[in-house]
Structure 1
Amino acid sequence: MMQLAQPAAQQGSWLSSILMLVLMFAIFYFLLIRPQQKRQKQHQAMIAALKKGDRVVTFSGLYGTIVDLTEDKVVLRVNESTRLTFERGAIKAVLNEEEK
């Protein structure tokens, strides 16, 4: 009778291991992957909506106003005489009226 009980215990252990892996993946997905995808979609929408005159900040911390933009480049006016060219993806955020 001992021999019959062992396979049943091993099968239960195998199923619980699979269930634990699935549960860990689900937690990992909902806590890490999904929020990152959401932030990435929001950033892509913000990048697509850029327009001349927007006050922005880059990932390097540089504040400027968009004076020209193409499909992949953005020209920022930093002060009266300085214009810098960045890739569109380098824009971190568009500042609203209160942050200007």
Structure 2
Amino acid sequence: MSLFISQAHAATEGAAQGGGFEMLIMLGMFAVIFYFMIYRPQSKRAKEHKNLLASMTKGDEVLTSGGLVGKIASVSEENDFISIELNANNVVVIKKDFVTAVLPKGTLKSL
């Protein structure tokens, strides 16, 4: 009787040792999936947005995250603010970070 118990006990110990290595492989796979599906695309978008903000100049037509479309009237380099001319009578000052896209020239006239 004790012969069968020791064999069963030995079988469960071997399975537990192999399961630890399999768990490390699964964690590694999840890390790779996390990197390629979440972290890498997000860092790429952040880098593109940073380049967009650095390349803005006076006269560019921009779209803000609030939905405003206008032409840049002035760019303040010291405190990261820009003035956007919505039309001839309205000028709005916003933080550069809220610009989502630089539009092609002539977009304002087509609206």
In the alignment, which residue of structure 1 is the partner of 2:96?
A: 88
The CA deviation at 1:28 is: 1.2
Q: Which amino acid is the alignment partner of residue 57 of structure 1?
A: L
Q: Which amino acid is the alignment partner of residue 43 of structure 1?
A: H
Write the distance in 2 (CA, Å) between the matches of 1:97 and 1:68. 17
Post-superposition Cα deviations, 1:47-98, rounded to whole Å, max 9, x if no partner, equal: 0110000000000110000010112000000010100000010101000237
Structure 2: runs of 5 or more not aligned: 1-5
In the alignment, which residue of structure 1 is the partner of 2:21?
A: 15
* Aligned counterparts, 1:10-89, within 5 A: 10-71=16-77, 72-89=80-97
Instruction: Name the structure where helix makes up a greater proportion of residues.
Output: 2
Give the CA RMSD over aligned residues: 1.5
Write the distance in 1 (CA, Å) between the matches of 2:50 and 2:44. 10
- Give the TM-score of the pair, scaled to structure 2: 0.83
- Give the TM-score of the pair, scaled to structure 1: 0.92
Structure 1: runs of 5 or more not aligned: none
Q: Which amino acid is the alignment partner of residue 67 of structure 1?
A: A
The CA deviation at 1:5 is: 3.2
The CA deviation at 1:99 is: 4.3
| Identity in percent | 33
Aligned length: 100
| Greater gyration radius | 2
